[in-house]
């Protein structure tokens, strides 16, 4: 009289999540939206009240329909690729989810079969307050996979004295 779905891995490339595709799937807790997905239809996850974790892996997403996330858990987190954060934050805005839903840049990067955590400034601050730390090297760029990111700022750290850079002296 029903299908019990624990985990489903679709064996073909998904480029679109259709309108109302998972509407009222009240037991759905976690969704990973694959790398090839370009559109999420209107009301796609509407009423999925237990949906708490949404991981968007796609960097090709261009359209999210009206009320796509209406009625998901009010404390849900939507993780997006770090390089698409600004674009996706705007794209996902006002899609029915409560204002308490968090949209965040994914803090991991996969290179080959290894998964790395991108260290945030909170972790840097904690490391800097460790009295045993005598040297910190801050590179000009960080490469994750095939993408290089220029290091332009380190926000609010617990350093108490300036550190020497190869190019100039700066205070963190």
| CA pair distance 171, 112, nearest whole angstrom | 36
Whole-prediction pTM value? Answer: 0.61
Task: Output b/e per residue, 57-76; b: 16+ Cβ within 10 A.
Answer: bbeebeebbebbbbbbbeeb
Residue identified by tokens 């839903």 is 101
Per-residue pLDDT of the chain (172 residues; tens, 9 = 90+): 344 444 555 556 889 999 999 999 999 999 989 889 999 999 999 999 999 999 999 999 999 999 999 999 999 999 998 888 889 999 999 999 999 999 998 866 555 555 555 554 344 444 445 555 555 555 666 666 667 666 665 554 433 333 444 444 444 3
Render 102-123 in DSSP notation, one character per residue.
EEEE--EEEETTEEEEPP-HHH
């Amino acid at each position: 009289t029903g299908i019990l779905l624990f985990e489903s891995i679709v064996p073909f490339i998904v480029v679109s999540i259709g309108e109302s595709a998972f509407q009222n799937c009240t037991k759905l807790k976690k969704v990973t939206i694959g790398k090839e997905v370009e559109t999420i239809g209107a009301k796609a996850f509407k009423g999925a009240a237990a949906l708490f974790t949404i991981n968007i892996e796609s960097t090709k997403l261009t359209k999210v329909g009206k009320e796509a996330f209406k009625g998901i858990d009010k404390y849900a987190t939507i993780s997006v690729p770090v390089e698409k954060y600004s674009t996706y934050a705007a794209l996902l805005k006002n899609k029915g989810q409560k204002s308490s839903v968090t949209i965040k840049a994914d803090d991991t990067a996969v290179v080959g079969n290894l998964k790395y955590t991108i260290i945030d400034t909170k972790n840097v601050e904690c490391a800097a307050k460790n009295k045993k730390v005598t040297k910190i090297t801050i590179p000009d760029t960080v490469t994750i996979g095939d993408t290089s990111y220029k290091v332009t700022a380190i926000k609010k750290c617990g350093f108490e004295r300036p550190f020497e850079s190869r190019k100039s002296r700066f205070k963190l």
